[in-house]
Structure 1
Amino acid sequence: MADTPLDKDAACAAAQSDVVYSQLVARIRLVLTVSAVLVAILDHAGRGPANLTALMVLSAYAVLCAAVYLCPRCQPRWTRGKLRHRLDVAVSAAVVAAVGQADIFPLVFLFFAIVVASLRYGLAEGVRVTIATVLLYYLAALITLPDVAPGRVLLRALVLLAFGRVIAQLGELHILAARRQALLRELNQVANPRFGIERSMTAALERVRAFFMADSCLMLLADPEQGQERGVYGLRAVRAGGPDVVPAIALDAALARAMLSEARTDVFLYVRGWRCWRAFGGCALSYADDSAAWTAQARASLGELAELLGAASFISVPVSFGRAQGRIIVAAGTRHLGRGDALFLARIAEQGLRAIERIDLLDRIASDAAALERKKIALDLHDTAIQSYIGLQLGLVALCRKAAPGNPLAPDLDRLVSMAAEVIAQLRDDTQRACATPGAGDAMFLAALRRQAAQAMAAYAVEIRIDAAPDLALGDRLGAEVLQIVREGISNVCRHTSAATATVALRCAGAMLRIDIINPHDGAAPPAFQPRSLSERAAALGGAAVVHHHSANETIVTVEIPL
C-alpha cells in the first residue's frame, strides 16, 4: 500500500509539512530564543565568562531561528525535520553547562523540544528526546554545580522525565487522532465504483488492516438471500501482500458459528498472555453498548478462535452490510491490540463502510438496468447485424457454387465464407454473453484474451503476445472493461498497421492499471494519431489513452485506468 496519512510515518511527515504549524513553532522558538538573549544581557546570573558563553550560544541560535522563521523556503535541508528540536536540546544543555541550572530558560527550551517532538513524531521520538534531555540536564547540572547533592539533581531529572513521558503520550494521542480521521476519510473515498463492490470492499478491508498494523482483516457475513437460518455464510479475508480483489467465499456453517459469537452486538477483545507466564498479560473482554462497560469473558472460547486465526490478539465487532449481518475481525500475530482499537473498529463498522454499502445498492440497481439494456441490445444485434451477416454468408456460398472448379477466385471466396462464419459465431457469442449474468473471473479473462489473440492470428496472420502480470486480479466488472479495450487495440493493430506481431502488456502499479499495446513499425514513424474509441473508453473509466513512439521502432498505445 502506498504511503498515506494512515501510516504513522506519513502522518508525521504531513504534520511536519504543514506550513502554518511549522511557522507557529518557528515563531515560538524565535520568541524564546530572543527572550533568553535579553535575559542573558540584562539579568544575567553567575560569572561574566560563563554568561558570555551562554550569550554567544544563544545569540548564534537566535540568528538561526530568525533565518528559519523569516525565510522558510530558503532554509537548508539539514535544518528541517527532527534536527530542529534536537538542536533545542543541545542549546539548552550548553546554556545549563555555562550558567548552571538556576536559569529558567534552559528548562523552557527542554520542555519546548519535548512538546515539538511529541506532537510531530509521536511517542517514540518524544521518549527519545525526553531521555536525551534528562541525561544532558543531569550531566550539565553535576558539572556546573558540584556542591549540590546528586540526589536533588536526580529528583529534578526524574520529575522532568515523568513530565516528558506524559507529554510524549499526549503527542501520540494527537497523531493517532489524525490517523483515525484520515482512515475514516479514505474509507469514504473508496475504489472506483464503476468496477463493482468486490474491489471497493477489498480496498476498505486492506486499509483497516494496514491501520491497525495487523496480519489479517476478515469480514464474515450471512448471505442476505439465504439467511443465517440456512447456514450460508460468506467470508472475505484480506492479508498483507494479497490480491487487489478478494471475493467472498462460502464458509462452513460450523466454522462460521465458531467465529460468530452468540452476543451478536458485543465488541470482543482478546490478548494472549505472555509466553513464559500464560496467566499474566492477557485478557478476554467484551463491551456492550447498553452497559457501556468492559466485562470479562471466558478465555477458552476466545482463545480457540485466536488459535484458529493464528493470532496473538484480535478484535471482533458486529457489522451490518445491507441486509447481511456478521462481524469484522482484525487479527495480529505479534502486536497486542487494545480497548481503544476495538472501539474504533466498532466505529469503522458503524460509519466507515456506509459509502461501500451505498455503492453496493447503486451497483445492484445499475446491474439490473444494465441487464435489461444488454438484452435489448442483444435482440437488436440479432435482428440487424447477425441476420445481415447470415444473408451475406448465404450469398457467398451461392457464389462459390456458381464458380467453375478451376476458377482462380475460388480460394478467396472460400476464405471470405470462413471469415463470415467466424464473424457470425463471434456475434452470437457476444449476444449470449450480453444476455447472461457477468461472471468472468481472472482465469476466464485471460482465456478470453488468448482467444482474441488466436482470432487475430487466424484472420489477419498477426501474432499477438499476451503479457499479463502473474498477480493480476481485476474482478468481473473491470475485467469486462479491459477486455473491450484490448479487443479494440488488437483490432486497430490488425486493420491499420502492417505489423506481423504485437504485444499486449497489463500491469498494476499502485492504484493504476496500465495497458500497453505495442506493435513494431518499419522504421518510419507513423504520423501522429489518437485512437478515438480507446480514448473514449478510457475517459469513461476515469483514465486516459496516450500514444508514443519508442526508439526501437515501436509504437506504444498506453491506457491508464485509476483503481
Structure 2
Amino acid sequence: MATPGFCAASAAPGTTAHFNESDIQLLARIRLVLAVSALFVAIVDQAGHRAAEAVGLFLLSCYLLAAGVAYAGVLKGLRWAGATLMHRLDAAACAAMAATGESDIFSLVFLFFAIVAASLRFGLDEGARVTFAAVTLYCAATIAASPGAVPARVFLQAAVLLGFGRAIAQLGERQIQAARRQALLAELNQVANPRFGIDRTMTAALERLRAFFGAERCIVLIEEQESGRHTLRAVRAGGPPVLAAEAVDAALAGAMLPEPRAHALLYVRPWRRGAPALALSHAGAGPWLQRDEGQMGQLAALLEAASFISAPLVFERGRGRVYVIAASRHLGRADALFLARIAAHELAAIDRIGLLDRLASDAAALERKKIALDLHDTAIQSYIGLQLGLATVCRKAAPSNPLAAELDKLAAMAAEVVVELRDYARHAPAGTADGEPIFVSALRRQAAQANAAYGVDVRIETAGTIALGDRLTAEVLQIVREGISNVCRHTAAKRAAVSLRCGGEILRIEISNEHGAMAPPAFRPRSISERAQALGGSAFVREGRFNDTIVCVEIPL
C-alpha cells in the first residue's frame, strides 16, 4: 500500500535522476579523490606485511584504477561511466576497506558515498538495494577482519546504517520526483501550442501524464454545460497520437463523476483478502477524508484499476474529471495532489486552446466561403469568357490552319481549369466530399497543375494519420507548394515526389526530384527553411540513392 505523504511514483518506469553532465563529472571526481585518499591512508597506516593488508592494498589499487578509468569515461561522455556499475563498485570498495581492519572511517565514507550516489542518480529502489548490499558487505568484512568482535554490536551498527541509508534513499527519491515534476510541467507547457489543435494537444498531454505516473491509462471525462453531452478521451500506451473526444452514455458518465465533484480522489485495492482498501478524497485544503469503500471499489472495478487517482477539471465549456489508472502498481497521496495541480492549471490552459482553435476554424470556414464566392464571381467567370472566346476562334480557324491544333489544346486546357475551379469553389467551404484531408486534395490539384503546365509528373504520398490543425495545415500546404514550384521552375526534372509522414512526434515532409548524372551544387531553400524554423522545425537537403535531390522538412508535433 502506498506510503502516506510520500510519492509512490518511485516504482514508475523511467525514474532516473535529472543529472546534468557537470553533476556526473562531480561524482566521478569525488570518487577519484576518495580512492586516492583511501589508498594513501592504507599505505601510511600499514603496520606490517600481513596477507590481509596486502590484499587490501591490491584491491584499493584496482579500485583507484577503476575510478580513474570511470572519470576519463565521464569526460568523454561514455554512458557506462555514469551507470549503476560505478556506485555498486563503490559498495564493494567499502567492503574492501573494512576488510583491511585499519580504516574504519574511510570504509564508512565509501558506504555512504555509494548510497548517496545511487539515491541521487536512480532514486529509492536503487538506493535501497545499494544500502542493503553495502551494509551487508561492510558487516561481513568487519566480522571477517575482527573475529573477536561482538556480533550484537555489529548487528546494532548494521541497523543504524540501514536506517540512515533508507533516509538518504528517500531524500534522493524526493529530489528526483521534484525534478521529474518540473520537467513534466515544462513538457505540458511546450505541447500547449494552438497550431496543433485541441485533439492532438490534449492527447499529447494525457500521454505525458500516463507515462509520468507509469499508469496503463489516462482518461478525461467532460460534461458540457450547454448541451449536457458527455465526452471522453482515453489514452493508452502505444495509442494513436490524435484522439478525438467520443460521446459516452449519461449513466456511465454519472458513475465516473461521483460527488462531491470538487474533491481529488485516491483508491488503492487491498493487498490481501479481508484487508481494507484505501479510499480517500481531498478537498484542496485540510486533511484527507475517508470515502465509501464500496462506491470507490465499484468505480475501480468499472475502470479495471488496482489503483487510481482522479482530480476535478473546470473547463470553459464544462466540468469533469481526469483519471490516472494503474492496473498493477499503487499510486499515492502525493500523486493525487500533483494531478490536482496539473488539472487546475496546465490542463485548463490547454483546454483554452480548444476555444481558440474553434474560433480560428470558424473564421477560416467563413474566409473559405468568402473566397469561394469571390472565386466564382471573378476568376471562374473570366475563365468561362476565355473558354468561349477560344471556342469561337477554333470554329473560325480552318482545319488546314497550322495553329488549329494549338488552339484546340488551349481550349481544352481552359475547359479543364474551369472544371477544377468550380470543384474547388464547391468543396472549399467544407472540405472534400470523399473524406480526404483538404490539404491533401489541394496538393493533388497542385500536382495536376504542375503536370499540365510544366510537364512534371508529381506523385503525392502520405503515410500515417495526418491530422493537423487549420493553422499548421496552412503552413504545411504552403511549404509543399513552394517545393513543387521550385522543382518546376528551377530544375529540368520530369518526375518528382512529395512524401508526408507522421511518425511519433515528428511530421516529415520530403520533396524529391531526379537530377540525372550531374548533381546540382549545394543549396538551401531559403523560404522553406524560414517557414520550418518558424514552426520550430528544420529543413535540409540531401542526396537520394537514385540520383535524386531530396528537400527534407521536419516539424515537431
The normalised TM-score by structure 1 is 0.83
Root-mean-square deviation (Å) = 3.9
> What residue in structure 2 maps to residue 94 of structure 1?
96
2:16 alignment partner AA: C
- Measure, in 1, the Cα distance between the counterparts of 2:515 and 2:543: 10
**Do 1:96 and 1:106's aligned partners in 2 also have CA atoms closer than 8 Å?**
yes
Classify 1:213/1:485 alpha carbon distance in 2 versus 1 (closer, same or farther; 3 Å).
Answer: same
Instruction: State the Cα deviation string for residues 271-311 of structure 1 (Å, max 9, x = none).
Output: 3344xx44337433222235432313233x43343333333
2:147 alignment partner AA: P
Q: Secondary structure at the match of 1:206?
A: helix
**Do 1:244 and 1:473's aligned partners in 2 also have CA atoms closer than 8 Å?**
no
RCO comparison, higher one (Cα < 8 Å, 6+):
2
Greater shift, 432-441 or 288-297, is seen at: 432-441
> What residue in structure 2 maps to residue 110 of structure 1?
111
Classify 1:33/1:551 alpha carbon distance in 2 versus 1 (closer, same or farther; 3 Å).
Answer: closer
Describe how 1:99-248 pairs up with structure 2 within 5 A.
99=101, 103-190=104-191, 192-223=193-224, 226=226, 230-248=227-245
Classify 1:238/1:10 alpha carbon distance in 2 versus 1 (closer, same or farther; 3 Å).
Answer: closer
1:8 CA displacement: 7.4
Instruction: State the Cα deviation string for residues 30-52 of structure 1 (Å, max 9, x = none).
Output: 6655665676577x597664567
Classify 1:506/1:41 alpha carbon distance in 2 versus 1 (closer, same or farther; 3 Å).
Answer: same
2:338 alignment partner AA: F
1:236 alignment partner AA: R
Greater shift, 544-553 or 345-354, is seen at: 544-553
1:191 CA displacement: 5.3
- Measure, in 1, the Cα distance between the counterparts of 2:479 and 2:30: 57
Classify 1:531/1:407 alpha carbon distance in 2 versus 1 (closer, same or farther; 3 Å).
Answer: farther
**Do 2:193 and 2:353's aligned partners in 1 also have CA atoms closer than 8 Å?**
no
> What residue in structure 2 maps to residue 254 of structure 1?
251
- Measure, in 2, the Cα distance between the counterparts of 1:374 and 1:541: 23
- Measure, in 1, the Cα distance between the counterparts of 2:435 and 2:151: 73
**Do 1:127 and 1:164's aligned partners in 2 also have CA atoms closer than 8 Å?**
yes
Q: Secondary structure at the match of 2:222?
A: strand
Please, which of 272, 280, 303 is the counterpart of residue 285 of structure 1?
Answer: 280
**Do 1:7 and 1:179's aligned partners in 2 also have CA atoms closer than 8 Å?**
no
Q: Does 1:392 align with 2:386?
A: yes
Q: Secondary structure at the match of 1:353?
A: helix
- Measure, in 2, the Cα distance between the counterparts of 1:424 and 1:532: 34
1:82 alignment partner AA: T
2:119 alignment partner AA: S
Q: Does 1:266 align with 2:263?
A: yes
Classify 1:508/1:54 alpha carbon distance in 2 versus 1 (closer, same or farther; 3 Å).
Answer: same
> What residue in structure 2 maps to residue 553 of structure 1?
547
Classify 1:501/1:62 alpha carbon distance in 2 versus 1 (closer, same or farther; 3 Å).
Answer: closer
**Do 1:245 and 1:475's aligned partners in 2 also have CA atoms closer than 8 Å?**
no
Please, which of 323, 327, 350 is the counterpart of residue 344 of structure 2?
Answer: 350
Q: Secondary structure at the match of 2:496?
A: strand
Classify 1:113/1:187 alpha carbon distance in 2 versus 1 (closer, same or farther; 3 Å).
Answer: same
Q: Secondary structure at the match of 1:344?
A: helix
1:556 alignment partner AA: I
Classify 1:351/1:518 alpha carbon distance in 2 versus 1 (closer, same or farther; 3 Å).
Answer: same
Describe how 1:387-536 pairs up with structure 2 within 5 A.
387-405=381-399, 407=401, 409-431=403-425, 435-436=429-430, 449=443, 463-490=457-484, 492-493=486-487, 497=491, 499-526=493-520, 534-535=528-529
Instruction: State the Cα deviation string for residues 220-278 of structure 1 (Å, max 9, x = none).
Output: 12235x3xxx431222222211222222222222222222223211112223344xx44
> What residue in structure 2 maps to residue 3 of structure 1?
none
Q: Does 1:312 align with 2:306?
A: yes
**Do 1:439 and 1:476's aligned partners in 2 also have CA atoms closer than 8 Å?**
no
2:201 alignment partner AA: S
1:548 CA displacement: 3.7
- Measure, in 1, the Cα distance between the counterparts of 2:387 and 2:536: 40
Q: Secondary structure at the match of 1:173?
A: helix
- Measure, in 2, the Cα distance between the counterparts of 1:319 and 1:77: 42
Q: Number of residue pairs matched? A: 547
**Do 2:15 and 2:123's aligned partners in 1 also have CA atoms closer than 8 Å?**
no
**Do 1:268 and 1:342's aligned partners in 2 also have CA atoms closer than 8 Å?**
yes
Greater shift, 375-384 or 242-251, is seen at: 375-384
1:433 CA displacement: 5.2
Please, which of 289, 293, 297 is the counterpart of residue 294 of structure 1?
Answer: 289
Unpaired segments of 5 or more residues in structure 1? 1-5
2:382 alignment partner AA: S
Unpaired segments of 5 or more residues in structure 2? 1-9
Greater shift, 282-291 or 317-326, is seen at: 282-291
- Measure, in 2, the Cα distance between the counterparts of 1:343 and 1:316: 9
- Measure, in 1, the Cα distance between the counterparts of 2:314 and 2:94: 56
Classify 1:93/1:519 alpha carbon distance in 2 versus 1 (closer, same or farther; 3 Å).
Answer: same
Classify 1:290/1:192 alpha carbon distance in 2 versus 1 (closer, same or farther; 3 Å).
Answer: closer
2:268 alignment partner AA: V
Q: Secondary structure at the match of 1:391?
A: helix
Greater shift, 442-451 or 242-251, is seen at: 442-451
Q: Does 1:326 align with 2:349?
A: no
Describe how 1:32-51 pairs up with structure 2 within 5 A.
36=38, 40=42, 44=45, 49=50
Greater shift, 451-460 or 314-323, is seen at: 451-460
1:14 CA displacement: 3.6
- Measure, in 2, the Cα distance between the counterparts of 1:115 and 1:514: 44
Classify 1:544/1:386 alpha carbon distance in 2 versus 1 (closer, same or farther; 3 Å).
Answer: farther
Classify 1:383/1:538 alpha carbon distance in 2 versus 1 (closer, same or farther; 3 Å).
Answer: farther
Classify 1:346/1:440 alpha carbon distance in 2 versus 1 (closer, same or farther; 3 Å).
Answer: farther
**Do 2:24 and 2:82's aligned partners in 1 also have CA atoms closer than 8 Å?**
no
1:558 alignment partner AA: C
**Do 1:191 and 1:203's aligned partners in 2 also have CA atoms closer than 8 Å?**
no
Classify 1:398/1:529 alpha carbon distance in 2 versus 1 (closer, same or farther; 3 Å).
Answer: farther
Classify 1:255/1:504 alpha carbon distance in 2 versus 1 (closer, same or farther; 3 Å).
Answer: same
Q: Secondary structure at the match of 1:518?
A: strand
1:541 CA displacement: 3.2
1:210 CA displacement: 0.9
2:255 alignment partner AA: A
Describe how 1:74-85 pairs up with structure 2 within 5 A.
79-85=81-87
1:308 alignment partner AA: L
**Do 2:368 and 2:428's aligned partners in 1 also have CA atoms closer than 8 Å?**
yes
**Do 2:210 and 2:218's aligned partners in 1 also have CA atoms closer than 8 Å?**
yes
